[in-house]
Structure 1
Amino acid sequence: NNIKDLWWIDSSMEEHKIDALVSFLKICPSLERLFIKIDPTSYCIPSTAGECYNEVTRRGARLRRLKVVKLEGLTDEEDVIFLKEHLLEVFNVEPLIVTTSLGNHSRSLIRIP
């Protein structure tokens, strides 16, 4: 897959939604920029039992070219940490991670250790 930029917009960062994102990222080894926006006013599709996206992409490629990850709309620092821990599953590099609050003010610039 030759996707260079990906905008992922979701209504929340529940664990099954993070799993879906991680599974999708595993099939995007050329990704360079990832933008994640959490918008509680966007659509919401309920989770279904027995989802299989993790099984299908368990052995997916790791992201070697990823340079920047922008997280927007996460208001709780614990949610940011939880999301980063899951994203580490597919990172093979240390991208710059930028987090912004709902007011578009930069909260922090950090690198994944």
Structure 2
Amino acid sequence: MTDVDTALRQAMGVIEGAIGTALVDYNSGMALGTVDGAGGLDLTVAAAGNTDVMRAKMRTMEMLGLNDGIEDILITLSSQYHLIRPLTSRTGKGLFLYLALDKRRANLAMARHQLAKIENELEV
């Protein structure tokens, strides 16, 4: 099992194109841990903003009567990918991993696969 800081550093180290990552509590919008790369992102602002995205999607699913889980949410910008991955472990309820990627260097399929692996090894 991996702790939060190690998991976030691992994401930055092994996921090609990673420019920032955070573990976020979507009940409060607070980042529980962050690792910034060369992207210069304000991960505190990203945590709060992506909390709104997460909450909106959960509300929409509830209104639609969808009894399903969110695997991840992808936001595609002209130069970046932003991945939001809710934790599914019993101790990770209410938390999500956030990962920002440089679109030119990242392999989106591999990034999703590696982020899922990091989530599975994360102990909160």
Scaled to the shorter chain, the TM-score interval is under 0.3
TM-score (norm 2): 0.25
What's the TM-score, normalizing by structure 1? Answer: 0.26
Report which structure shows greater RCO (CA 8 Å, sep ≥6): 2
